[in-house]
Amino acid sequence: MAKRDDIRNVAIIAHVDHGKTTLVNQLLEQSDTLDERTQIDERAMDSNDIEKERGITILAKNTAVNYKGYHINIMDTPGHADFGGEVERIMTMVDGVVLVVDAYEGTMPQTRFVLKKAFEAKVTPIVVVNKIDKPSARPAEVVDEVLDLFIELGADDSMLDFPVVYASALGGTSSLSDDPADQTETMEPIFDTIISEIPAPEDNSDEGLQFQVSLLDYNDYVGRIGIGRVFRGKIAVGDTVTLMKLDGTEKNFRVTKLFGFLGLDRVEIDEAKAGDLIAVSGMEDIFVGETVVSTNAKEALQPLRIDEPTLQMTFLTNDSPFAGREGKYVTSRKLEERLRYELHTDVSLRVENTESPDQWIVSGRGELHLSILIENMRREGYELQVSRPEVIIKEIDGVKSEPFELVQIDTPEEYQGSIIDALNQRRGSMIDMISTGLGTTRLTYHVPARGMIGFTTYFMTLTHGYGILNHTFDHYGPYINEPIGGRRNGALVSTDTGKASTYGIMQVEDRGTIFVNPGTEVYGGMIVGENTRENDIVVNIIRTKNLTNVRSSNKDQTATIKTPKIMTLEESLEFMDEDEFCEVTPESIRLRKAILNEAERAKAAKKKNSNR
C-alpha cells in the first residue's frame, strides 16, 4: 500500500503542567508556518480563558505546521483524566504520540492514563524529556521510569525501543543528548524524530470514502462541525455523502464547507483525501463516532467508545433571597437551554430532567469537568445553584459497583503518617510506597472516588501546602457498604439577613473558620464559616456593638479579626454536605443550607433521623 509521505499525524500527551502546550508553541514558532508578523501568545493553544488562568488544557485542539516540505498535524490533548474521553478519541486520528515528561517529576498518574489510551490504539510513541534545564533534573532516571511504565502497561517489544529527545520548551532548546550543556536553540531534533519515527498514513484515496468524527465543534453560523480523519477515499465541497448514524440509520447530505488546519487557523479547502485531518460542516445532527461514507460504498467504521460519567450533581435555578441581583440569565428555561447547548460539543456530559422543572441531574467525568462547566456559565452571566457532587453507582455483572481512583501523593516524610491514616479512613488500599530522596515519600493508593470528594482541601491542610496530590479514575469495583469521606466539621450558619460586621465576626471567630469579610451581605440560612466541631451552629454575624457614653479603658485598641477564608468554587463544591447548596452568580459564590429556615431545618433533620 502506498503511503502519503508528506503528512504526519501526531498527538502530544502529558501530565498536567509538564510543558506540553508550551512545547506546541515552540513547534509552531520554529516551523515554516507562521509569517513573521504573527505574534504568538505564551499559551497559544489554550484558547479558553479558564485554560489560560489555570494553565491546563481542557479541550483538545488541532494545529498543523509545515516543516521541510512535510505537513505535520499536531493534536494537543488534555492532560487531566476528567477530559479522558477527548484523549481516547484523538488516538484514533493519529499514527503516533509525543509523550512529554518532566525531567524532575517523571511519570505521574495522568501520564499513565494517557499512555494507556495510546497503547490501546497501537500508535507509535516518541518521548520528550522536558525541562532539562531544571537544576533538579534527573533525565536518566526519568527515562528508566518511562521504560518501566511502558512495560507495566503492556507495550509490545517494538515500542520499548522508543526514541528520546531532551528539551526545554520554555527556552526553545532541544537535543538528542541528556546533557543540558548540549542543548541548542532549535526544535529540529523533535521535528526530525517525528518525521523519521512516526508512520506516514496510507494513501487509499482511490477507494470509497470513510471519514470518522472524533471531536465536535459548534458555532451559530454553520451549526455543528465534525472534526476527524479521512481514513479512506476523498471528500470534496459539493459532494453528496451518507452519514452512518450510531443507531443504524442513514442520512444523505451535501458537504457545504471543508476546513483543513494550518498554524492556529482553520483554513477553507476544496478537497481532502485519506490521511488528512479535517473539519466538515453541513450536518446538523452529526455525533462523535459516526462515519461519513460515499453513497455507493456504505461501510461504517467501528464506533468510538466514549467514557461514561462517574460523578453527578443537581443543577437548580437560584431561589436564594439574593436571586436575580447579579445574573443576566436566571430562569429555568435559560438554564436548560445552556445545559443542552453544552451537549453539542461535550460528549462525556449527560443532562437528565427531574420531576421538578427547576432541577436537572448533570453527570460528568469528575469534579474538575463539572466545575469548569459551572465556572463558564457564571462568566457568561448565569445564576444557578448546585448540590454536593455524588459518585455514580452502577450494577456490573449483578454486583453493585462504585468508581475507584488511582491516587499518587508526593509528601515530606513528616506528614506521611497523617496521610496514610486519612486514606485508610477513606478505605484506600496502598499499592506502593517509595522514598524519592530529599526527605520525600511517594505514596500510591486505590481509593473509592467517594473518599476523594473534598479530600484536596483537607490534604493541603495536612501537609501545610507542601504535598502534591494527583488522582485519576481507574476502575469500577465492588461497592463498600459504609460511609466514606464527607465533611467532618459542621457549618456556622447565619441567623439574619444584613451586612457582616467586624464586631459580629469577632464574637464568633473562636467557634471556627469564617468565610466572609466585614461588609459582605449575608442572609438567614447562608453558611458563613466552618465550625471546629461536628455540629452546625447558628450565629449572628451582622450584629453591631451597642453604643454607650461610657468610655472604655482600652478605647484606643482597634478591633482586629483573623483574615477570613474566601472559598473558591472548587473549595465550595468540596465543602458542601448533602443538605447544602452552592449558589453561583457572576460575582459571588455563596454556600447555603438547602432549607433556609432554622425551625424547618431542625424539623427535617429530626424526621430524617427517625427514618434511619
Binding residues for GTP: 17-22, 130-133
Distance CA 63, CA 28 (A): 9
DSSP E strand boundaries for 233-310: 234-236, 240-244, 250-254, 257-262, 265-269, 271-273, 277-281, 291-294
Cβ atoms within 10 Å of 318's Cβ, excluding its own: 23
Kind of pairing between the strands at 359-364 and 291-294: unpaired
Which residue ranges are tagged as binding site? 17-22, 130-133
CA-to-CA distance for 240 and 295, rounded, in angstroms?
Answer: 7
Q: DSSP letter string over 182-203?
A: G-BS--HHHHHHHHHHSPPPB-
DSSP conformation class of 297:
B
Q: Write down the H helix ranges in 255-301.
A: none
Side-chain-facing half-sphere of 246: CA atoms under 13 Å: 12
β-partners of residue 3 are: 202
Three cell numbers at 573? Answer: 463544591
Whether the CA torsion 472, 473, 479, 481 is positive or negative: it is positive
DSSP lists the bridge partners of residue 351 as 362
Three-state DSSP at 435 gives strand
Q: CA 34, CA 45: separation in Å to the nearest integer?
A: 14
b/e map of 144-183 (b: 16 or more CB within 10 Å)?
ebbbebbeeeebeeebeebbbbbbbbbebbbbebbebeeb
What's the CA gap between 150 and 303, in Å, rounded? 27
Pairing of β 399-412 and β 240-244: unpaired
What is the DSSP code (8-state) at residue 308? P
Q: What residues contact residue 109 under an 8 Å CB cut-off, 6+ apart?
A: 15, 81, 406, 407, 408, 470, 471, 472
Cβ contact 168:130 at 8 Å:
yes
Measured from the Cβ of residue 527, the count of other Cβ atoms closer than 10 Å reads: 26
What's at 413, amino acid-wise? Answer: E
Judged on CB neighbours under 10 Å (0-12, 13-18, 19+), 456 is: middle
Measured distance CA(115)–CA(109) in Å, rounded: 10
Cell readout for 515 is 468565610
Q: How far is CA 104 from the centre of its chain?
A: 23
- Name the 3-class secondary structure at 247: coil
Give SS3 for 428: coil
Residue 572: count of CB within 10 angstroms of its CB: 22
Helix, strand, coil tally for the chain in percent (to 5): 25, 35, 40
